[in-house]
Amino acid sequence: MIKHKGFPSRLVGTDFQFTVRRENKSGASKILRRERYLDRKPADKKADAGFIEAVWKYFGESTFERGNLDAGRLSWLFEREIIAVTDPFDPESYSALLKISKVVAERSFPDLLKESD
């Protein structure tokens, strides 16, 4: 499992995790699309925004390996702002390739990505 050195491990001042410390010997947790309903708590929305901002600052539009990025946090953005690059995609692989869908991410988080252009 690749560790993304310098990537924030969590949202500052919270317990919202962005990375995992070590590889799970029984395999990576599955990434799946989680629905984001309109009545989500503001803290959850802030965690999504903080994570997508960290991914954008760290990787930009480049393809990246899942590595030590948290499956739960990726799942809130998967198949929308973060998309699979390979077909077939293995959602239980630490080496799965992903990338930001800039168009969708800009629409979902308009104040975050435009500052980085």
Check residue 114 and give its pLDDT.
60
Low-confidence ranges of the chain (pLDDT < 50): 115-117
User: DSSP states of 17-75 as a string?
Assistant: B-B-SS--TT-PPPP------TT--HHHHHHHHHHHHHHHHHHTTS-EE-TTB-HHHHH
> Whole-model pTM?
0.86
Check residue 116 and give its pLDDT.
45
Q: Count CB neighbours of 23 within 10 A.
A: 13
Check residue 12 and give its pLDDT.
84
Radius of gyration of the chain (CA): 13
